[in-house]
Amino acid sequence: MKAHDGMYIDGAWRPAAGRDTIAVVNPADEQVIAAVPAGGAEDVDAAVRAARAALPAWAATAPAERAARIAALRDVLVARRDEIAGTVTAELGAPLPFSQAVHAGVPILVAGSYAELAASYAFEEKVGNSTVYAEPVGVVGAITPWNYPLHQIVAKVAPALAAGCTIVLKPAEDTPLTAQLFAEAVHEAGVPAGVFNLVTGLGPVAGQALAEHEGVDLVSFTGSTAVGRRIGATAGAAVKRVALELGGKSANVILPSADLARAVGVGVANVMGNSGQTCSAWTRMLVHTSQYDEAVALAAEAAAKYGDRIGPLVNAKQHARVRGYIEKGVAQGARLVAGGPEAPREQGYFVSPTVFADVTPEMTIAQEEIFGPVVSLIRYEDEDDALRIANGTVYGLAGAVWAGDEAEAVAFARRMDTGQVDINGGRFNPLAPFGGYKQSGVGRELGSHGLAEYLQTKSLQF
Ligand code: NAD
């Protein structure tokens, strides 16, 4: 596959300071498809300097001009949609139709939403005898994961651009080709040199250098809770702003009045999409004891139907990790009703769609984020029991509630300690704030709430 052998800094592809590289592997066949430079502190420093130098002019640009650049970026993403989908499929392994619809499609929606918001947002408001200005936070260090490689980049870069911030991006080491394509798109869209910069590299090297750099004003991180905790601590020590989008263990609560077949079917599909590598996936399905056996049969059937349509996991490490969780589930007494730990194919990091029954809330598979195609069905006795189980993890990113009556579902959802809840299969909304309660994170992405993360206020009194 096509790959740049440099970093995109100050509007051009420049050689990396060192010679180390990262091999990019196609997880469907385990073949190396490209190599990108593994940047270090020197590359990060050059990128941060470029971003700092570009900040005053970009911050002073009229919002309408910033909106025009983001709209142009959206148009490039539209024009290069097939190439983006093909690249995500090659380095992440997602089936092509899913890459087309979700991995390439959602970033187009999000970029479009920020083109509109940049033009319409009230960057200035009157409060009594004051005028309050919303000003850009400054230089943003963005660190992103591999599971939705383009979406997570756009969910940070588009609002940062709209706010008038400049950016240094350190993307995940498994999916750097999508990030390089994005840098090309930014360039084509006519975003001025230095406003967006890309440094590929390893997390503990380039990522850490970016998080610690004193020229960065805000660190926006999406990834694991373990790394997020460290980044939060580093930012706290430097009194630097930080946004953390972390892990999840979301509950899909099916109340007895719900359409059981639909709730189970959509619930299983929600987990299997992207091979279970979705932070907001509803990996715990909570079913009333009176409907439990029926739900188990429906879930097993839905998973079996999914069969071969599922893509591989991203890499060998995740493959081993997810299969280890499945083995642990069996060892702790959960009952496998679909899938299992055996690799279904000789080549590629595939795991079969897996469903566990007889899962109790304290089991490891019901508490820890597996990040694979694994659903756990948990039995509850009454609504209070369901709520206690739903809220009984350290996470609080997302969830779902199903009921015959919308008001009944809403009443339950309002008691959940979580940032996003889909009611009876509600659709994804690119304008709704996305982010976590509890250890799922700090801050929100998307829509005007996401834009506010990149702004700071200044009030002038008259
Ligand atoms: P990860 O934390 O290992 O890596 C994420 C990013 O951080 C990568 O770019 C990586 O290179 C970098 N990184 C790693 N160590 C670092 C360090 N010491 N300093 C600075 N940067 C470092 O996570 P992952 O395995 O890539 O992604 C999976 C995790 O991300 C899951 O837990 C998932 O739930 C979470 N996630 C959360 C959201 C959300 O919006 N809440 C979205 C997607 C993924």
Residue type present at position 381: E
Q: What is the pLDDT of residues 161-174, one digit of tens each?
A: 999 999 999 999 99
Q: Which ligand 1 atom is at minimum distance from the Cα of 440?
A: 41
Residue found under tokens 């630097």: 240
Q: What is the pLDDT of residues 119-128, one digit of tens each?
A: 999 999 999 9
Residue 221 token pair: 């991180």
Residue positions annotated with a catalytic role: 245, 279
What domains can you pick out in the chain, each with its CATH number? 6-246+439-461 (3.40.605.10), 251-430 (3.40.309.10)
Q: What is the pTM of this model?
A: 0.98
C-alpha to C-alpha distances, 99 to 23, 31, 78, 117, 309, nearest whole angstrom: 22, 19, 13, 26, 13
Q: What is the CA(351)–ligand 1 centre distance, in A? A: 21
Q: What is the pLDDT of residues 73-104, one digit of tens each?
A: 999 999 999 999 999 999 999 999 999 999 99
Residue 179 token pair: 């990030």
* Model confidence at 299: pLDDT above 90: yes
- Strands of 96-163, DSSP E: 124-127, 130-136, 139-143
Residue 55 Cβ < 6 Å to ligand 1: no
Atom 26 (ligand 1): residue with closest C-alpha?
145
- Percent of the chain with pLDDT strictly greater than 90: 98
Model confidence band, residue 301 (pLDDT cutoffs 50, 70, 90)? very high
Q: What is the CA(298)–ligand 1 centre distance, in A? A: 33
Residue 211 Cβ < 6 Å to ligand 1: yes
Give mean pLDDT, residues 334-341: 97
Q: Which residues contact 52 (CB under 8 A, 6 or more apart)?
A: 139, 166, 215
Quick check: 218 and 195 in contact, CB under 8 A?
Answer: no
CA-angle at 80, arms to 306 and 199, nearest 5°: 95
Residue 453 Cβ < 6 Å to ligand 1: no
Q: How far apart are CA 374 and CA 272, in angstroms?
A: 8
Residue 143 Cβ < 6 Å to ligand 1: yes
Write the DSSP assignment of 418-442 as a string of letters.
SS--EESSPPP-TTS-B--SGGGEE
- Length of the chain in terms of residues written: 462
Quick check: 375 and 267 in contact, CB under 8 A?
Answer: yes
Q: How far apart are CA 39 and CA 19, in angstroms?
A: 9
Measured in whole angstroms, the distance separating CA 11 from the mean position of its chain's CA atoms is 26
Residue 227 Cβ < 6 Å to ligand 1: yes
Model confidence band, residue 308 (pLDDT cutoffs 50, 70, 90)? confident
Q: Which residues of 278-314 are buried (b: 16+ CB within 10 A; e: fewer)?
A: bbbbbbbbbbbeebbeebbebbbbbbeebeeebbbbb
Partners of residue 31 on adjacent β-strands = 26
Q: What is the pLDDT of residues 13-60, one digit of tens each?
A: 999 999 999 999 999 999 999 999 999 999 999 999 999 999 999 999
Atom 19 (ligand 1): residue with closest C-alpha?
208
Residue 454: per-residue pLDDT:
98
| Ligand 1 pocket mutation pick from 173, 279, 322 by most atoms within 8 angstroms of CB | 279
* Model confidence at 307: pLDDT above 90: no
**What mean pLDDT is reported for the chain?**
97
